Structure formats: structure tokens, C-alpha cells
Amino acid sequence: MTPAVSIPQRTGPAVSASYSPTNATSIHDRMNRRDSVNAIRMPKVLHPVDNEDLRLLLLENISQEAVKTFRDQGFHVDHMTKALSEDELVEKIGSYHAIGIRSKTKITERVIKAASKLLVVGCFCIGTNQVDLDTAAKAGIPVFNSPFSNSRSVAELVISEVIALSRQYFQRGFEMREGIWNKQSKGCWEIRGKVLGIVGYGHIGSQLSVLSEAMGMRVIFYDVVNLMPLGSARQVESLSALLEEADFVTLHVPELPETTNMIGATELAQMKKGAYLINNARGKVVDIPALVDALKSGHLAGAALDVYPSEPGSNGAPFDDQLNSWASTLRSIPNVILTPHIGGSTEEAQRMIGEEVSSALVRYLNYGSTVGAVNFPEVDLRAITAEQPDHVRVCYVHNNIPGVLRQVNEVLSPYNVEKQYSDSKSDVAYLMADIADVSPTDINRLRELISKTSSNILTRLLA
Ligand SMILES: O=C(O)[C@H](O)COP(=O)(O)O
């Protein structure tokens, strides 16, 4: 295996807050201390000891920043622009150690069972509902995502949709393309002073709150937890209260059992006559046949949808009634903006996500860190330094049952355990330990002994 060459900056700059004038008596003291701290903390580049080349499969046109990061580490990368179906994945995944996906590729239990070498999943997006997170955790596979890097892009898209809907300019634009001049002001409004109702006040909802207030809108939001309102926004106590007051309702919730069909016939009826619905979250959050009825009856004045219960896996594939039975009806209703899940599709967002998620995957593959994993205990250790050449890092994923630590520490007992940290999440626990003075001949034996412990899910050694 080609050794990893770049050093993730896990320990941060060596100059810490302790270098205040009160702590150091002279500039020389400071310089000396800085040098010694630098020397002590220079991290050693680790990589897996089992010497098999790491192979990564990147789907859905993940950014070239990620490809570069992985190739710089010496990993083999296969990059595809489309999503793969479950059958295609089952056939392919057995030879890969890591997979990168966006929102379309489904990592199901069947896929995970076929993924005999898979160590980690990277969702290069916010959502992780496309992955069977529990099954992945139980198979020792942490899943990472990018919790906020495309938030701004989505918020800006919503702002544009609010204006497009209230001015009907998508409709006017279509008419012009047909050669029809249709200048009118009836049913067209400024957004100034209108009420924007945000459902879900997370990274996107709160960013949108700030942007829309800057444009003169009044913001209310509903969230299952109590949150600090930004600017002059106001949290309301129920979804119904929000629906009854908002001129525009915009959804920013994850796909969960409790958010499926969160907006159905009852909720649409609670919205004000002439209001608009915007969904850039997940397709299953809105009961679309009910939305079609609300639009056709004139109760709602328009809607913008970027996400759908079923979405094509690649560009050029049809968005038709075979995919979603109501597709052609929805396409025929005026003042409905339909976009192909582009909320996070900007150069800026994809670049940031590419960097963020690829770094998280490299930190896990090379250093064992699960900080930021969505389905796994979050564990990390400070770096092994360049002055500790015979140190080995043990990464041990195991069933979360009593007695395991005794077993593993018995195996480690002939060595000095320099540092150790362990945590659990539900049925899965993860222990990282750095042990000293391990001879190269000991390494395989050590891995074998730990792998044989009764609760072992996955044992990796990094050196
Ligand atoms: O989950 C997300 O971040 C958004 O839905 C964007 O998904 P995408 O990366 O598949 O466009």
C-alpha cells in the first residue's frame, strides 16, 4: 500500500492559549516552549497495517476535491456520475473499503451484507435516510455526512422560490417561451411584510430566517425543540399555529417516520387560502396527491418542489407517471415550480462537502477517529507522535455488552497502554487504544487475538 502522505491537522496549531504574556517571561521562553511543543506534538502519519490497497467507490458525481483528497492518500478511487441500484451495488460493493454517495443511492441491509470489506460510508450531503444506519453500525461501519455545508445554497434557493411564486414569473417565463405575452399584476405580490413559516429551524431553517428578514419578511418557525429565534423571528408552539399564520410554508425537516406525510390534506386545509408551499427537504414529507387537490381547488396559490418520493438515479432519466403516478398531473398545474433536487447543487456547496466528508473518511481510515459519525460512538485519541515509531493504534468495534473491556485489556496487558478511550451508542461500542513498543512481528498476533474476542465486530490496527 502506498503510505498516506498528508497529515490531517488534528492537533491544531502548536501555539495554544497558554502562550499568554502572563505564562511566559520572555520571547525566548516562548520560542523555546513553542519548539518543544511542536516537537512533542508532531503527529505520525498512520495507515492500516493489513497492507491491502484501500479501494473507494464514489457515486453520484461527488466533487473532484474528494477524489483528489483520496488519491493524495494513495487510495484507489472509482468515480461514477450516477447512482447505482440495489442490485448493481450488491454486485459491486464486495471489493470496496469505502463508498461515497449522495441522496439517491440506497445502502440497504442487503447491500451491507454484500459489503464484506466495507469499512466506512460517506454521505456527501446532509441527509442520511438513504442508509440503513443501524445495520451499518452493527456491521462496524460508521457513516459520516456533511451536516451544514450546503445549508446556504438551500436557503438561497428558497428565497428565489418565494419571489418566483409570489410574482408567478416561472409561469410568465414559460408563456414567453410559447410566444405568449401575458403581462399581469393580479395575484402577484411583493414579499415585503409577508409571513414566512419555517418548519424545522436547523442549519437551513435558521439561515433562511436571517436572509428572509433582510428582505422584509416576518418569520415564524416551528421546531420540536425550543430554539433561540434569530433576529425578530418567533417560535410558534405547534405546526397548526404555523400553518394558520404563514403566507409561505417552507419545510426543512429530515425524513423520519414522524415526518412522513407531515403535510397532508388536513395540514393543507389549515394553510391560509392563497398561501404557498415549498419543499426542499425530503419528498415523503408531503402527501403530493393531497397537494395536487389543494392546488387544483385554488386553496393554495402555488408550490415549489425540489424533492419527490421517487427520484431518477441519473440525469436524462424520465420524471414521469411510472416513477410517481401523479407526475404528469403535477407538471400541468400552473404556478408550480418543479426542480430536480438541486437544493445543495452549487459549486461552493459541493466543494465544501467534498473536502469535509473526504477528510472525515481519511481520519477514520487512517487514524480511527469517528468524530462526526452519525450512527456510531464518537471516539478519537490525540495523535501518536513521530517520536513514537513502535506505537500501534488498536481500533476495536464490538458488541456493547459487559466484560468486553476486561477481555481486550487482557490481550493488551503485556504492553504499555499509552492512552485509551471507549464509548458506546446503542448496541455498538468502540475502543481506541495506543500501545507502546510493539514489534512488527507482534502486530498480526495482536490483531488475531483481539479479533477472536467473543464480542468482536471489527478490529483494525494502524501503525
Ligand atoms: O441531503 C442533502 O444534503 C440534500 O438533499 C442534497 O442532496 P444531494 O447531494 O443528493 O443533491
DSSP per position, 365-403: HHH---TTBSSS-----PPPBTT-TT-EEEEEEEE--TT
pLDDT digits (tens, 9 = 90+) for 162-181: 999 999 999 999 999 999 99
ipTM attached to this prediction: 0.98
Please tell me the pTM assigned to this model: 0.89
Q: Tell whether the model's pLDDT for residue 360 goes beyond 90.
A: yes
Residue 360 alpha carbon to ligand 1 centre in Å:
18
Q: Do domains 38-151+344-376 and 193-300+307-338 have the same CATH topology?
A: yes
Q: Which DSSP state fits 283?
A: G
Indicate the domain borders of the chain. 38-151+344-376, 193-300+307-338, 379-462
As a whole-number percent, the residues of the chain with pLDDT over 90 amount to: 87
pLDDT digits (tens, 9 = 90+) for 281-290: 999 999 999 9
Q: Are 216 and 266 in contact (CB under 8 A)?
A: no
pLDDT digits (tens, 9 = 90+) for 72-123: 999 999 999 999 999 999 999 999 999 999 999 999 999 999 999 999 999 9
Report pLDDT for 345: 98
Residue 128 alpha carbon to ligand 1 centre in Å:
9
Which helix (DSSP H) or strand (DSSP E) does residue 218 occupy? strand 218-222
Chosen CATH of 193-300+307-338 out of 3.30.365.10, 3.40.50.720, 3.65.10.10, 3.30.1340.30:
3.40.50.720
Q: Are 8 and 369 in contact (CB under 8 A)?
A: no
User: From the CB of 203, is ligand 1 less than 6 Å away?
Assistant: no
Q: Are 352 and 149 in contact (CB under 8 A)?
A: yes
Q: How far is the CA of 236 from the CAs of 153, 205, 347, in angstroms?
A: 26, 14, 35
User: From the CB of 343, is ligand 1 less than 6 Å away?
Assistant: yes
What is the domain class of 38-151+344-376 according to CATH?
Answer: alpha beta
CATH code given to domain 379-462: 3.30.70.260
* Atom number of ligand 1 nearest to Cα 342: 11
Does 25 or 439 have the greater pLDDT score? 439
6: left (phi over 0), alpha (psi -120 to 50) or beta: beta
User: From the CB of 125, is ligand 1 less than 6 Å away?
Assistant: yes
The residue type of 38 is: N
Report pLDDT for 36: 52
Distance CA 162, CA 216 (A): 12
Radius of gyration in angstroms for the set of CA atoms belonging to the chain, rounded to a whole number: 26
Distance CA 240, CA 243 (A): 5
Residue with cell 502519519: 45
Report pLDDT for 47: 83
Q: Is 76 a catalytic residue?
A: no
Report pLDDT for 41: 65
* Atom number of ligand 1 nearest to Cα 280: 5
| Mean pLDDT, the chain, integer | 92
Q: Is 391 a catalytic residue?
A: no
Residues 6+ apart with CB under 8 A from 250: 158, 162, 196, 197, 198, 199, 205, 208, 277, 278, 279, 280
Which helix (DSSP H) or strand (DSSP E) does residue 131 occupy? none
pLDDT digits (tens, 9 = 90+) for 232-289: 999 999 999 999 999 999 999 999 999 999 999 999 999 999 999 999 999 999 999 9
Q: Is 311 a catalytic residue?
A: yes
